[in-house]
Amino acid sequence: MITRMRRGGLAAILVLTLAAVGLGTAPAASADTIIPVSWHVNASTHIKSLNMDVVVPQGTFDGTIDIDTGALEGTLSLPPATSTIKVLGFSLATATFAIQPTGPVTGHVDLATMTVTVHSSFNFLITKAAPSFLPKLNLVGNSCRGSKPVSVDLNGKVNLAGPSTFTSTYTIPSFTGCGLLTPVLNLIIPGKGNTFSATFAP
């Protein structure tokens, strides 16, 4: 969503947690207790209703961690991801998914246990849907999106010896602004139980 929702979407976004954990490898703090973090993010999402995996091109997380309070805040940037929609093994169409953050990613890092909690909210977009035999045609126009933002909450421990991966489940809302395909998309995509996975690495 989510999607790699940058899917759920998804976005699931949700890779932000790992960025916070990376503090363990960051330089020692100076008099200023705010430390910047910058991570590469590899994300993917599984859309349950379609039994479809969407791999997102590599994105980034840039943010800060307050050493005194453990507060984490930053921006997750994930590029659009295109995947093929199949039914009974046949490729029917391709769809391009994207996420649009509604605000900064926020969370908390426990430096004693190296655990992280992160919250992210974003709009789930379908920027293009084209039948396999007419790949240049866009059937959904420029305003196809979820009727409300998607919320993702991640938590877990960071592996300081290598990349850290976090997963979460999320709900895809009904869609609006998708032209004649709006009722069709609302029959096959929205629902609970979608998963988002993100791996953060320096």
Domain extents for the chain? 16-201
Instruction: Please tell me the pTM assigned to this model.
Output: 0.75
Distance CA 38, CA 20 (A): 9
Mean pLDDT (whole number) for 153-176:
86
pLDDT greater than 70 at residue 30:
no
Q: What is the mean pLDDT of the chain?
A: 81
pLDDT band at 166 (very low <50, low <70, confident <90, very high): confident
**pLDDT score of 8:** 31
Whether 133 and 94 have beta carbons less than 8 Å apart is answered as: no
Distance CA 50, CA 68 (A): 44
Radius of gyration of the chain (CA): 18
Distance CA 27, CA 22 (A): 11
Between 1.10.287, 1.10.3470, 2.40.160, 1.10.150, what CATH number should domain 16-201 receive?
A: 2.40.160
The model's pLDDT over 2-28, given as tens digits with 9 standing for 90+, comes to 333 333 332 232 233 333 333 334 444
CA dihedral angle for residue 172, residue 173, residue 178, residue 180, rounded to 10 degrees: 100
pLDDT greater than 90 at residue 97:
yes
